[in-house]
Amino acid sequence: MSRTLISAGLALAAITAPGTAQSLTGAGATFPNPIYGKWFDEYAKKTGVKINYQSIGSGGGIRQFTEGTVDFGATDGPMTPDQMNAVQGKVLHIPAVMGADVLTYNLAAVGTAQLKFDGPAIADIFLGKITKWNDRRIAGLNPGVKLPDQDIIVVHRSDGSGTTYIWTDYLSKVSPEWKEKVGNAQSVNWPVGLGGKGNEGVTQTVKQTDGALGYVELIYAISNKLAYAHVKNGAGNIIAPSLASVTAAAASAKFPANTDFRVSITNAPGADSYPIASFTWLLVSPDSKDPAKAKALKTFLEWMVTDEAQQMAAVLHYAPLPKPVVALVKERLKTLKAAGKPIA
Amino acid sequence: MTVPTAPSASTPAAALQGAAAGDRIFRALLTLAALAIPVLLGFLVYELVQGSELAIQRYGFRFLTTSTWDPVTDEFGALPLIFGTLLSSFLALLIAVPLSLGVAIFITEFAPSAIRRPIAFIVELLAAIPSVVYGLWGIFVLIPFLRTTVFTFLKGTFGFLPFFQGPVYGQSMLAAGIILAIMVMPYIMSVTREVLAVVPASQREAAMALGATRWEAAWTAVVPYARSGIVGAVILGLGRALGETMAVTMLIGNRHEIAASLFAPGYTMAAAIANEFSEASTDMHLAALSYVALVLFGVTVIVNALARVLIWRVSKGRQSGGAGL
């Protein structure tokens, strides 16, 4: 009985070994989890390849990828130089989709007026240097809106998150003081403000507190119909956050020829770019040990950047990758190897 | 009549031996089960120490007395977390203990028997609600309510005290204390009720025979008799409050800061671990969070040890019976 089982198993192994693996495992970022879930589900229906993904957070994704316990990792913030060293630089960041942060606010005195901000003003609000709504720097950006003499209540995320990574990445770029005093990470030492747990925690606090402002994911703000600010971009234009303006930011980003895609697209150049946006990445090994799994993963990644898959992202309010980035990703996928040989 | 020669199993002595073997196996199994708990605990401590080694080497005991928490520069100190954990639990007990004692005394001593069971059932039902539900209820219902009623009242009436000054955001140490009080109340109430229920009727009858009213009988004869059991109930509630995570983090405001005002946001150890663990990317950040877990473990052990001493004192310093409780 057991012998037949073993021989059957051996036969099965012999059949599948040189071909494509039927299942893959991945772990990491929670922010893109809805679209990953959708993709893996659709992909399993199309090809029968099952991809198990655990949304344990970017930090966990990087750790598990480094330890080799998963076939791919996923992260909202690119790996740091230290983390790259831990895998001897043997990692490729493949952008999957893009996300963006918006500044949501609740100020009864201005009614439904659309407020506008610029980067330095936002940074100084979050540094605690601008404390009143009628500060002349906010007023200067919002001519015609009568701003009250009221305290600004800052709300930020208390849990480590990719949303915070994007936000602090942006603030570090537009404010040298922020960069020096606070810096950029999934969780930081906030100079002022209340911490809300998750997007819903931040949103509820802002909604219930007159004079509050905070940042949430674009997707969350759209689906919950929050009031959110327009932001002045690097080119000096006031831009409304939307999928199109986020995709524009990625399209205007400069990629070196042999880029590993660890590119920040906050404060991107370009007239129509929304400045607080970022890629979210899948982490794959450029030369993996298991040819069958490498092949399966490569095939999935090729499908992921097709129009079909990227349009599924748009439906879920993730900004699809712009065409030039898709072309670069396709080029890069051709260089993937398994056991030292190119993947057929 | 022939005496059965062979199978020794049928002789009484052998049967006894067989039973003894069964006994031994059973005993071994039980010993194993009993040992599993301390071994598990030891393993837990070992893992925590192992995980926090990096932070212990770098900070030592300074970790317990500094207040900076900066994941970007890898600078960590847990004092605000320790303070927040102890203060929020203390506030919870301050509110929950009188309330649960009152409910328990009412149910066992005064309530008509028709409503005893329903009230006890409803209070115990509170214990079955998941803490994330408490958290969401706290954000959506409790905080807006507190901000417009209780907090404004406290600020207006006791605003001269440092505990009730500063801006009222809603998310605050006080809000966390109140939600914790609601969460630990069923535990304290239900254990206290059990303890009061087993106080001998003679205790009440004796007090009443001396001319005590029902209230005097309950307060002077029944409650003191059950003292050590009640302390035990409070400790159970305290243990629950110290470790509560989800509801607290949703209501406390999550700020690494020690403030005198109860309206100010704070943070607790359990909440910080839950918030930051999944996205902690540097080794030092992870080690610091493990260290926080170790400190939380230590605080729990100390609090429980103090509680044991308290129970021991309470039951020893009393003349009458009931020490078994």
Using left for φ > 0, alpha for ψ between -120 and 50, and beta otherwise, residue B60 falls in left
Average pLDDT over residues A6-15: 45
Interatomic CA distance for residues B178 and B173, integer angstroms = 9
pLDDT value of residue B324: 40
* Model confidence at A16: pLDDT above 60: no
CB atoms within 10 A of CB A127: 18
Contact B279 A189 (CB under 8 A): no
A288 or A95, greater pLDDT? A95
Find the residue in B nearest to A79 (Cα): B281
Report yes or no on A269 lying in a domain: no
Radius of gyration for the alpha carbons in chain B, expressed in angstroms and rounded? 26
The answer to whether residues A84 and A215 belong to one domain is: no
Question: Which domain does A38 fall in, by range?
Answer: 3-99+253-263+276-342
The answer to whether residues A131 and A81 belong to one domain is: no
- Which pairs with CB-CB distance under 8 Å and at least 24 residues apart come from A37-43? A38/A312, A38/A316, A39/A304, A39/A309, A39/A312, A42/A309, A42/A312, A43/A300, A43/A303
Strand order in the sheet with A50-54: A50-54, A23-28, A72-75, A277-284, A92-106, A212-217, A153-157, A194-196
Contact B147 A151 (CB under 8 A): no
The answer to whether residues A310 and A246 belong to one domain is: no
Q: Smallest CA–CA separation between B18 and chain A, in Å? A: 36
Report yes or no on A75 lying in a domain: yes
| pLDDT, tens digit (0-9, with 9 covering 90-100), for A42-53 | 999 999 999 999
The answer to whether residues A107 and A246 belong to one domain is: yes
Chain A residue numbers touching B144 (CB-CB < 8 A): 208
CATH assignment at residue A291 = 3.40.190.10
Q: Smallest CA–CA separation between A247 and chain B, in Å? A: 26
Give the model's confidence band at B314: pLDDT under 50 very low, under 70 low, under 90 confident, else very high.
confident
Contact B254 A56 (CB under 8 A): no
| pLDDT, tens digit (0-9, with 9 covering 90-100), for B156-186 | 888 888 889 888 888 999 999 999 999 999 9
The answer to whether residues A38 and A167 belong to one domain is: no
Q: What is the widest separation between alpha-carbon atoms in chain B?
A: 101
The answer to whether residues A37 and A114 belong to one domain is: no
Contact B71 A188 (CB under 8 A): yes
Contact A196 B254 (CB under 8 A): yes
Q: Is A175 on the interface with B (CB under 8 A)?
A: no
Report yes or no on A234 lying in a domain: yes
Find the residue in B nearest to A183 (Cα): B72
Q: Render the burial of A257-268: b for 16+ CB within 10 Å, e for the rest.
A: eebbbbbbbbbb
Report yes or no on A21 lying in a domain: yes
Half-sphere exposure of B31 (CA within 13 A, CB side): 6
| pLDDT, tens digit (0-9, with 9 covering 90-100), for B287-313 | 999 999 999 999 999 988 888 888 888
The answer to whether residues A80 and A116 belong to one domain is: no
Q: Which of A181-185, A252-256, B34-38 has the highest mean pLDDT?
A: B34-38
Contact B71 A193 (CB under 8 A): no
Average pLDDT over residues A322-333: 90
Report yes or no on A268 lying in a domain: no
Is residue A126 within 8 A of residue A154, CB to CB? The reply is yes
Report yes or no on A23 lying in a domain: yes
Interatomic CA distance for residues B132 and A306, integer angstroms = 39
Nearest 5°: phi and psi at B114? -65, -35
Average pLDDT over residues B211-218: 90
The answer to whether residues A55 and A140 belong to one domain is: no
Interatomic CA distance for residues B256 and B258, integer angstroms = 7
* Model confidence at A72: pLDDT above 50: yes
* Model confidence at B266: pLDDT above 50: yes
| pLDDT, tens digit (0-9, with 9 covering 90-100), for A166-218 | 999 999 999 999 999 999 888 899 999 999 988 888 998 898 888 999 999 98
Which tokens is B220 given? 């002077």
Number of structural domains, chain A? Answer: 2
The answer to whether residues A147 and A233 belong to one domain is: yes
Domains and CATH numbers, chain B: 55-198+227-299 (1.10.3720.10)
CB atoms within 10 A of CB A143: 7
| pLDDT, tens digit (0-9, with 9 covering 90-100), for B185-200 | 999 999 999 999 999 9
The answer to whether residues A212 and A115 belong to one domain is: yes
The answer to whether residues A239 and A258 belong to one domain is: no
Report yes or no on A202 lying in a domain: yes
Helices (H), chain B: 12-59, 79-105, 113-126, 131-137, 143-148, 150-158, 173-197, 201-209, 214-217, 223-225, 227-243, 246-251, 269-276, 283-316
The sign one gets for the Cα dihedral B307, B308, B309, B312 is positive
Average pLDDT over residues A222-234: 89
Interatomic CA distance for residues B88 and B174, integer angstroms = 7
What percentage of chain A has pLDDT greater than the value 70? 94
Whether pTM exceeds 0.90:
no
The answer to whether residues A37 and A149 belong to one domain is: no
pLDDT value of residue B72: 87
pLDDT value of residue B18: 60
* Model confidence at A240: pLDDT above 50: yes
Q: Is A307 on the interface with B (CB under 8 A)?
A: no
